Structure 1
């Protein structure tokens, strides 16, 4: 199974949105540069070793999900119990789970290249849910 660099960037950006991080904060958190984080998000100018270095410094994030889009975003079935998640609104987790399912569906549709309108509809729904966060 080949890794899609653009989808890796999309999934990493999704994690950053959940955690309320920008590229500078994630770079600092992972002891890497904001330029590397920006390149990963853009899907260009990085090697797999760089990506794995970033992912190894985010213990709660499931690297298999980031690279292949399979499984859960977090390593455990539940979201991590830290201050950020403890203060989440009741519906936020539901929105995040729906967004993850939509991203997985989007991946499947893009892989099969079936229908551009389905992709546009899913992207619009993801955007709508992102605004609610």
Structure 2
């Protein structure tokens, strides 16, 4: 199976947006410089060693999903001892606007996945985002 750098970038960007991670957060968490992180987020000039080093800093992120788009975005609960309640219960942003932004990114990611001939767990994520958005607007 071929690795698509642009898809890796889109998936990592989706993950970071879902977790409300800004560039300064990513730099602090990974110890990587902004150029390296931008390369990964934009899906260009990614070195495997850099990607592996960065992924190690996100214990809930499923590397199989990040690289190949297979499986769930998150590792199964209990695999690393963490419980994933995403999006965060205490969002820094306006919840409805945030969820709409995530839905738009998910639509873009889904279209790219379908164009590649495989479909990730996008339907489940879309359903969860719609549910959260409905709750946020109540």
TM-score range, shorter chain: 0.5 to 0.7
The higher relative CO (CA closer than 8 Å, separation ≥ 6) is in 2
Give, in angstroms, the shift of residue 24 of structure 1.
2.5
- Count matched residues: 112
1:101-116 paired onto structure 2 within 5 Å: 103=109, 105-112=110-117
TM-score (norm 2): 0.63
Q: Which runs of 5+ in 1 are unaligned?
A: 113-124
What's the C-alpha RMSD, in Å, of the aligned pairs?
Answer: 3.6
Contact 2:5 2:44 in 1 (8 A): yes
- Aligned counterpart for 2:84 among listed residues 77, 80, 92: 80
Task: Choose between structure 1 and 2: higher helix proportion.
Answer: 1
TM-score (norm 1): 0.66
- Spell out structure 1 runs of 4+ moving beyond 3 A: 95-102
Give, in angstroms, the shift of residue 41 of structure 1.
1.2
Please list the CA deviations of residues 8-45 of structure 1 after superposition, one character each: whole Å capped at 9, or x if unmatched: 00000001111111223112111211211100111112
